[in-house]
Amino acid sequence: DAGVIQSPRHEVTEMGQEVTLRCKPISGHNSLFWYRQTMMRGLELLIYFNNNVPIDDSGMPEDRFSAKMPNASFSTLKIQPSEPRDSAVYFCASSRIVGPNTGELFFGEGSRLTVL
Amino acid sequence: SQQGEEDPQALSIQEGENATMNCSYKTSINNLQWYRQNSGRGLVHLILIRSNEREKHSGRLRVTLDTSKKSSSLLITASRAADTASYFCATVTQGGSEKLVFGKGTKLTVNP
């Protein structure tokens, strides 16, 4: 299995530009999570999907952030317009089991975003 | 916001020694998981312990869970330089949503 695939691995952009991060979960996994990692705040859950439906987006910082999952094999996280404080590593993770006993999450290698 | 808090924030030991990391959490949980992250990489799942379990082993890893104290510990025995990484605990809250909430991690350095 190829694992969770994220792109791009690195992105440097200027404030105000649109950023789109992409994720391909592991085939057969029905849940997908987007996390953001910074030194100050650690790992924060932004949003997660179950069977392509957004279940909890309470962690999305503000309206500049949006996420979609048009099908079981693809998700995007978009930031428009981007700001320097959005600089972080964004992780996508997928799981087979989500529920009262959410199981193991499989993480991608992350997308390191730098907003100048 | 973080549910779990790892302690210590950083730990430096010699190869061959044991490493113990602790995690405390605030609300009742369904399960607790430990993950490892090598520098610049994604997180990798190590072990899951359910709320009705007290101890679990996997190779050189031993995890304990004390629900009365709302705490867990991860013990790595006979550490190796390759164990150098950050270790995170994550919890699934009982009666809450299905999401996994992570602590800020313990940075472990194993010196050869």
A1: pLDDT strictly greater than 90: no
**So what's the pLDDT on residue B95?**
66
Alpha helices in chain A (DSSP H): none
Lowest mean pLDDT segment, chosen from A84-88, B61-65, B95-99: B95-99
B23: pLDDT strictly greater than 80: yes
Q: B13 CA to chain A: closest CA distance, Å? A: 23
**So what's the pLDDT on residue A100?**
62
**So what's the pLDDT on residue A101?**
66
Chain A contacts of B105, Cβ < 8 Å? 42
Chain centroid to CA B96:
21
Tell which of A39, A43, A90 to mutate to test the B interface (max B CBs under 10 Å): A43
Euclidean distance between CA atoms B90 and B106, whole angstroms: 12
pLDDT in tens, B45-76: 999 999 999 999 999 999 999 999 999 999 99
Tokens coding A50: 């179950």
Selecting from A42, A91, A104 the residue whose C-beta is nearest the C-beta of B42 gives A91
Chain A contacts of B100, Cβ < 8 Å? 33, 45, 102, 105
A8 falls in which pLDDT band (50, 70, 90)? Answer: very high
**So what's the pLDDT on residue B96?**
62
Q: A76 CA to chain B: closest CA distance, Å? A: 18
Q: What value does the mean pLDDT take over residues A45-59?
A: 91
B93 falls in which pLDDT band (50, 70, 90)? Answer: confident
Please give the DSSP secondary-structure letter assigned to residue B59.
T
Q: What value does the mean pLDDT take over residues B78-88?
A: 97
Selecting from A45, A93, A99 the residue whose C-beta is nearest the C-beta of B101 gives A45
**So what's the pLDDT on residue A108?**
97
Which residue type is seen at A60?
M
Asked whether the beta carbons of B58 and B46 are under 8 A apart, the reply is yes
B17: pLDDT strictly greater than 80: yes
